[in-house]
């Protein structure tokens, strides 16, 4: 019976093929790539006697040239969604329904998350590889301290906010103890509690995000506009209430000292943000779930962790956006949502792959339940397979890992069909928004008079000026 079972397994993964080597093209962090080679692919080679060669690349814009260079040699290509869609539409990848058996196609449709994102011309073409989203990371102990300090700081904070919205705190305002319930007003309240409370004789901003002038900042800006209710059209046109609301909140957090100004003075990227969080200088930050796993650690050599007390790291859904502006009844004028972009990568099977079926079965093997769960646990990846999602409570022994992935999955649901599109990642539009953010937030160009508090009408005019220049951006 054991021999029969082994022969069936080998037949599935090899397709009874005499092919002895596959080649895949990947863009991964160095430690993830090593794990893929030394663990996952070695296991595949032992099961199938088929060697897998890995070619790495790190520039998505070079993909088309690489696929031409290795024409007829590649079996799988890992690539971001925006690039995969554009290449697939031009025939670079083979639709799955052109070669999968009906049973395998049914399995694919039933067991992979967000498979509809990989549809091209209404045909299943791309195979999910990884999902990534921003989440809210915070120090549990510092949050608990702030919640205790909040009652005595309430009147002071209400007076501060009255300068910006003419009212103070929203009518009936309650600071929830669970950050998963927060909106932008909760962020400013908790941030002001921290900013007005000295640590070692120093009162400073304890909130931050990545502020280096690159694609990470433009992605943050796009996400913030989305949270304030903006759609792709308002982002492309650089106009509308959502864009103004986002800038107004950023200006408010900057002007009130909620933000740690070192994030722009030193141009923090991912490494710096994590370092300052781990050192205890930052208490709350927006980061990806993968970055949060780097902070906490996973108990493996690739992710040893950075915090003295990893149990102090909490993760929550992103806050719901809203307007700074309140109406006559003290209610927010505009409500947003928690949605930001989902960053995702996919496997594409080249149209000229030596064996399309064998290529698909390699991708299937890499995402096999036990193998995929182990990789997700090690690197903080959001699962792409439904059975791994269903097994969060049993497949992941570490409670923090299980809870963190659960929060990340819930944020993925909040994101809906918003995906990283490359709109702001590169090119003139991304540069325009980065320059706008630095001019407004860092340069404090948020009011007619220097030194004044942020003025919404001035921000709107500033945005109109930028939108006019946007008309000349291709």
Whether 271 has a pLDDT exceeding 70, the answer reads yes
How many domains does one find in the chain? Answer: 2
Quote the pLDDT of residue 468.
Answer: 78
d(CA 469, CA 472): 6
Residue 20, domain CATH: 3.40.190.10
d(CA 233, CA 388): 36
Q: Which domain range does residue 237 map to?
A: 134-341+420-470
Quote the pLDDT of residue 96.
Answer: 96
Percent of the chain with pLDDT over 70: 92
Q: For residues 294 and 428, state if they share a domain.
A: yes
Q: If you average pLDDT over residues 138-162, what whole number do you get?
A: 96
Quote the pLDDT of residue 199.
Answer: 56
> Is the separation of the CB atoms in 456 and 324 below 8 Å?
yes
Strands 76-80 and 51-56 come out as unpaired
Mean pLDDT of the chain: 91
Q: For residues 313 and 454, state if they share a domain.
A: yes
The reply to whether 271 falls in a domain is yes
User: Which among 357, 372, 402 is the end of a domain?
Assistant: 402
Q: What is the DSSP string of 275-288?
A: HHHHHTS-SEEEEE
User: pLDDT for 223-253, tens place per residue?
Assistant: 999 999 999 889 888 889 999 999 999 999 9
Q: For residues 373 and 309, state if they share a domain.
A: no
207-208, strands of its sheet edge to edge: 207-208, 284-288, 134-139, 313-316
Whether 339 has a pLDDT exceeding 90, the answer reads yes
The reply to whether 282 falls in a domain is yes
pLDDT band at 404 (very low <50, low <70, confident <90, very high): very high
Quote the pLDDT of residue 86.
Answer: 85
Quote the pLDDT of residue 429.
Answer: 85
State both tokens at 139.
Answer: 């120090």
The reply to whether 268 falls in a domain is yes
Residue identified by tokens 């982002």 is: 235
Quote the pLDDT of residue 5.
Answer: 38
Q: Dihedral (C-alpha) 231, 430, 29, 71: value to the nearest 10 degrees?
A: 90
Q: For residues 168 and 304, state if they share a domain.
A: yes
89 or 474, higher pLDDT: 89
Quote the pLDDT of residue 420.
Answer: 60
Q: For residues 100 and 173, state if they share a domain.
A: no
Q: For residues 282 and 317, state if they share a domain.
A: yes
Q: For residues 318 and 208, state if they share a domain.
A: yes
Whether 391 has a pLDDT exceeding 50, the answer reads yes
Q: For residues 398 and 308, state if they share a domain.
A: no
The reply to whether 413 falls in a domain is no
Q: For residues 429 and 392, state if they share a domain.
A: no
pLDDT band at 212 (very low <50, low <70, confident <90, very high): very high
DSSP-derived 3-state class of residue 366: helix
Q: Which helix (H) or strand (E) holds 161?
A: helix 140-165
Q: For residues 37 and 144, state if they share a domain.
A: no
Quote the pLDDT of residue 227.
Answer: 97
Quote the pLDDT of residue 280.
Answer: 95
Lowest model confidence (mean pLDDT) among 6-20, 112-126, 187-201, 363-377: 6-20
Q: If you average pLDDT over residues 114-126, what whole number do you get?
A: 90
The reply to whether 409 falls in a domain is no
Quote the pLDDT of residue 1.
Answer: 37
Whether 74 has a pLDDT exceeding 50, the answer reads yes
Quote the pLDDT of residue 4.
Answer: 37
Quote the pLDDT of residue 82.
Answer: 81
User: pLDDT for 286-338, tens place per residue?
Assistant: 999 999 999 999 887 778 899 999 999 999 999 999 999 999 999 999 999 99
The reply to whether 414 falls in a domain is no
pLDDT band at 417 (very low <50, low <70, confident <90, very high): confident
Q: For residues 53 and 121, state if they share a domain.
A: yes
Q: For residues 154 and 73, state if they share a domain.
A: no
Quote the pLDDT of residue 421.
Answer: 53
pTM tops 0.85, yes or no: yes
d(CA 222, CA 242): 11
The reply to whether 44 falls in a domain is yes
The reply to whether 363 falls in a domain is yes
DSSP-derived 3-state class of residue 112: strand
Quote the pLDDT of residue 11.
Answer: 45
pLDDT band at 408 (very low <50, low <70, confident <90, very high): very high
Whether 2 has a pLDDT exceeding 70, the answer reads no
């Amino acid at each position: 019976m054991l021999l029969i079972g082994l022969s069936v397994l080998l037949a599935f993964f090899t397709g009874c093929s005499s092919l002895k080597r596959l080649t895949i093209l990947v863009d991964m962090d160095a430690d993830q790539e090593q794990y893929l080679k030394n663990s996952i692919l070695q296991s595949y080679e032992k099961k199938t006697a088929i060697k897998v060669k890995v070619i790495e690349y790190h520039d998505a814009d070079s993909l088309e040239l690489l696929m031409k260079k290795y024409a007829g040699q590649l079996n799988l290509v890992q690539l971001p969604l925006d690039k995969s869609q554009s290449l697939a539409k031009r025939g670079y990848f083979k639709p799955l329904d052109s070669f999968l058996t009906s049973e395998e196609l049914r399995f694919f449709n039933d067991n992979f998350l967000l498979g509809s994102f990989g549809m091209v011309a209404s045909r299943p073409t791309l195979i999910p590889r990884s999902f990534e989203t921003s989440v809210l990371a915070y120090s549990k102990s510092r949050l608990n301290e702030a919640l205790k300090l909040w009652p005595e700081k309430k009147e002071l904070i209400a007076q501060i906010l009255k300068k910006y919205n003419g009212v103070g705190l929203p009518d009936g305002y309650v600071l929830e103890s669970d950050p998963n319930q927060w909106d932008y007003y909760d962020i400013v309240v908790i941030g002001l509690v921290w900013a007005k409370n000295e640590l070692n004789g120093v009162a400073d901003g304890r909130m931050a995000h990545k502020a280096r002038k690159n694609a990470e900042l433009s992605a943050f800006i796009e996400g913030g506009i989305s949270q304030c209710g903006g759609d792709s059209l308002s982002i492309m046109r650089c106009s509308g209430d959502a864009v103004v609301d986002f800038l107004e909140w950023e200006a408010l957090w900057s002007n009130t000292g909620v933000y740690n100004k070192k994030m722009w003075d030193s141009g923090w990227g991912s490494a710096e943000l994590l370092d300052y969080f781990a050192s205890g200088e930052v208490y709350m930050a927006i980061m990806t779930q993968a970055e949060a796993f780097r902070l906490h650690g996973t108990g493996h050599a690739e992710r040893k962790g950075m915090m003295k007390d990893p149990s102090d790291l909490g993760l929550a859904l992103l806050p719901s956006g809203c307007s700074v502006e309140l109406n006559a009844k003290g209610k927010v004028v505009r409500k947003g949502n928690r949605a930001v972009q989902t960053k995702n990568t996919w496997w594409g099977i080249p149209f000229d792959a030596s064996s399309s079926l064998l290529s698909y079965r390699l991708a299937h093997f890499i995402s096999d339940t036990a193998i995929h769960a182990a990789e997700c646990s090690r690197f903080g990846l959001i699962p792409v397979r439904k059975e791994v999602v269903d097994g969060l409570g049993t497949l992941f022994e570490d409670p923090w890992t299980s809870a963190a992935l659960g929060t990340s999955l819930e944020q993925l649901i909040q994101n809906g069909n918003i995906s990283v599109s490359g709109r702001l990642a590169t090119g003139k539009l991304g540069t325009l928004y980065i320059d706008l953010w630095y001019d407004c937030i860092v340069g404090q160009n948020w009011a007619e008079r220097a030194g004044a508090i942020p003025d919404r009408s001035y921000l709107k005019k500033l945005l109109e000026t930028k939108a006019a220049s946007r008309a000349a951006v291709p």
